Chain A
Amino acid sequence: MSEPTKHELRRDCSVWGSYMWGFADVGADTYVAIGLVMSYVQGASSLAFALAGCVYILIGLAYTELASAYPVAGGGPYYTLRALGDFWGFVGGSALLLDYTIDIALFAMASAGYLNFFLPLLVGHGIDYFAIDLGPLHHINPLWCIETLTIIGFLMFLNIRGIRESSLLNEIIGVIIIATSSGIIILGFIFAWQPDLLVHQWKNEFPTFHNFMYGSSLAIISFVGLESISQAAQETRRPATIIPRTSITLVFTVFIFALAFSTLGLGILPWREFAKHIDNPIAILAQSIPFIGVVAGPFTALLGALILLISSNTGVMGASRLTYSLSQYQVLSERFHVVHPKYRTPVRAIVIFSLVGAAEAFLAFLTPSAMDTLGNMYAFGATLGYTLVFIALMKLRLSDPYTPRPYKMPFNLKWRYKSRQVEIPVLGILGMLGVSLILFEVILTHAVGRIAGPAWMLLCFCYYTWYRRNAGLPIFRSAPHSWEADQMQVLEAAEEFDLLEQYKLSLSERDRQLKRVNRVSSQKG
């Protein structure tokens, strides 16, 4: 890592700020995924969310261990780079960049969708009224497309200017979202929930196996965005203390919300209602609750639009932090490090990836269901990235046991490796198998994802090859990195003094052990 510069990220994020950073990204996902998942999984939606949620918890625990041990920007691709080398760091980074660009497109689209809740009141027609057929292309919605592109343009402009939503605003909105969502769930269960309706839908509206596979692989969308806490690790105070708590809380918060909304929804309305209102399912649910329905519906629509706007914004910000991190390790060009001379923002990364997001949104609108198309690709990037993170977790347990781990995934098997005792994470293996299964489901059932995803990876590979050749660096091997010095610098900057001393102690014990071994070998020789 380079010496601290004036562009060094400030450690200003508190425990609530760290949690909100993650919640702003992940919390919005359920607002999008509920409609998508229910339209395929129908009466078994709760099961789909539960299964995807169990895999997600394992992913969350893996991120918690890695983000608290390596509190730097970069997230999953950084851990992959560290564990498996530059090439695999690039693969993980490409998968995540795909997701960030889709994040920009999908959540801008969903934000516009929630705003369209008010369209009947304003113009007397719903959004579907504006859908047209264009030659061989059916059900194209130009109005929704224009709304989406306008939102993306606005976010791009905002991020170039450097007018970021303040941490306080983010936190206030987050509190309102949690309070509103909790209110909907609690009042819904008390005053509107009918277990008989849930059971009836489970028994009579159970999906086909293919639809269940497709829907449960889409359910992972509910949980994508946990990355954000690890991306914010370099800006978090006391990351080794705070990140385990905020990550675990976020993981279980989102799991509980996803399960609660799906169970509540199927006990209040038929799944077809959610499929019909795929663009604002939570608002439809809120509207159906006695006492609060009249107000809750429009309020949730507005709130949904806002949280999805923020979530789309985290895509723009996330792409810039990721490229900032990868360019430091020569996986991407240093040009992504360049900041605007006046606004001091990474303008190149912002413009490029916002335009990619806009292009994806535009192309998605040429398909019959734009949100479904984007959701397709989102699942591919997320599951590929998460698979690599699990592999990185296990590899780092073996190759870097010296870095202190304030949080470790539970249930480990002790194993003797190169005359050291290491711990193999059983849950990490299960998580890797689970997310690989979802990746397999995605490739099998997502017609767009299995083509667009690998195509994106190939495009990124072409860039990577060109960049590394020009820089005189190997393509499949790694450039030299000073991980130990970097780690000490990071721990010192993070004010994690106890971990820093622990790390120094581990390294000196390792060196002493090596000296002893060398001494014994030379004596024998």
Chain B
Amino acid sequence: MPIQIHPLGLALALLFAGTMGALLLWMLWLPVQIPAAAAKAHRSVFAIKRILVPTVGQPYSERAVELACRLGQEQKAEVILVHILEVPRTMPLGVPLPEAEAEAFKVLERSESIVTLHGLKPQKLVQRARIAGEEIARIAGEQDVDMIVLGARAKIGLRDEILGRTSDLVLRQAPCEVIVDKLPSSESS
């Protein structure tokens, strides 16, 4: 058989060899296997789809909002921001509190901007209650949240519980996972 060399034939031969080589290399380059324990831990955090974050407008509570967003980022969790207006027992629960409510909405707007920065969906709630900690736990159950992220004050006085009254109540009564973020006392709020 006589030899017939054509540039197009050379090009096709090269194309064939290159494509086959690339395909086989890609096939053999496997990602690392995920062990069972790592998979379980990873997916357990991935399961957190609704996060409740009580916010009071202080830097420590806004930091809690940021932490909640980081936790929920991968799985595009919904972040529920709640501000509790504690009404003393000496007043009816429905007493008009225009200044407090206006302040509450400002607080929630600031926190909302943190959530939208992460591309997540925020939900805002202003609730009146006698005791903030109990109300937070109740909302958590009602909204079927997966986690509460709570910021705690940096400065704790001698008479206070270790984590503060609200945090303490939430930890005891919450129907879901709770993360409390307490900054060291040396950091000012």
Contact = CB atoms under 8 A, between A and B. Distances in A.
Query: Is this pair of chains taken from one and the same complex?
Result: yes
Interface of A: 15-16, 19, 182, 185-187, 189-195, 238, 241-242, 245-246, 248-249, 252-253, 256, 260, 263, 267, 288-290, 293, 495, 497-498, 500-502, 504-505, 508-509, 512, 516
A245 B26 contact: yes
A166 to B, nearest CB: 21
Contact of A245 (B4, B12, B27): B27
A459 to B, nearest CB: 40
A190 B17 contact: no
Contacts of B42: 498, 501
Nearest to A181: B20
B94 interface: no
Given A182-B16, A186-B17, A495 B24 contact: no
B4 A192 contact: yes
A13 to B, nearest CB: 13
Interface string B17-50: 1011001101110110111101110111011010
Nearest to B36: A497
B8 A256 contact: no
B1 A293 contact: yes
Contacts of A241: 30-31, 33
B88 interface: no
Nearest to B40: A501
B37 to A, nearest CB: 8
B144 interface: yes
Contact of B24 (A190, A249, A501): A249
B19 A497 contact: no
B184 interface: no
A290 B9 contact: no
B89 interface: no
B30 A256 contact: no
Given A15-B30, A192-B4, A193-B6, A186 B13 contact: yes
B70 to A, nearest CB: 20
A68 to B, nearest CB: 13
B28 A289 contact: no
Given A241-B30, A245-B27, A293-B1, A501 B16 contact: no
* In the A-B complex, the 9 residue pairs with the closest CB atoms: A501-B43, A497-B39, A189-B13, A193-B9, A498-B39, A249-B27, A497-B36, A189-B9, A186-B13
B96 interface: no
A505 B40 CA distance: 10
Given A241-B30, A256-B16, A194 B4 contact: yes
B188 to A, nearest CB: 41
B27 A246 contact: yes
Contacts of B91: none
Contacts of B44: 501
Interface residues of B, number: 36
Contacts of B24: 249
B144 A182 contact: no
B95 interface: no
Question: Interface residues of B: mostly helix, strand, loop or mixed?
Answer: helix
A15 B28 contact: yes
B102 interface: no
Nearest to A18: B27
Contacts of A498: 34, 39, 42-43
B2 interface: yes
B16 A195 contact: no
A358 to B, nearest CB: 36
Contacts of B49: 509
Contact of A16 (B9, B16, B28): B28
B20 A253 contact: yes
Interface of B: 1-6, 8-10, 12-13, 16-17, 19-20, 23-24, 26-28, 30-31, 33-36, 38-40, 42-44, 46-47, 49, 144
A189 B23 contact: no
A498 B37 CA distance: 9
A242 B26 CA distance: 11
Nearest to A287: B1
A189 B13 CA distance: 6
Contacts of A497: 34-36, 38-40
Given A185-B13, A241-B33, A501 B23 contact: no
Contacts of A190: 5, 9-10, 13
B27 A194 contact: no
27 contacts: A182-B17, A185-B16, A189-B16, A190-B5, A190-B9, A191-B4, A193-B6, A194-B6, A241-B30, A245-B26, A248-B27, A249-B27, A253-B23, A256-B19, A256-B20, A260-B12, A260-B16, A290-B1, A293-B1, A497-B34, A500-B39, A501-B39, A501-B40, A501-B43, A501-B44, A505-B47, A509-B49
Nearest to A502: B43
B43 A15 contact: no
Nearest to A246: B27
Contacts of A253: 20, 23
B4 A182 contact: no
Given A186-B16, A189-B16, 5 more contacts: A192-B3, A252-B23, A497-B38, A501-B42, A505-B47
A15 B6 contact: no
A246 B17 CA distance: 18
A422 B5 CA distance: 54
A500 B34 CA distance: 12
A500 B43 CA distance: 10
A275 to B, nearest CB: 20
Contacts of B43: 498, 501-502, 504-505
A238 B36 CA distance: 13
Contacts of B144: 512, 516
B26 A249 contact: yes
A78 to B, nearest CB: 24
B155 to A, nearest CB: 39
Contacts of B13: 185-187, 189-190
A8 to B, nearest CB: 20
Contacts of A495: 33, 36
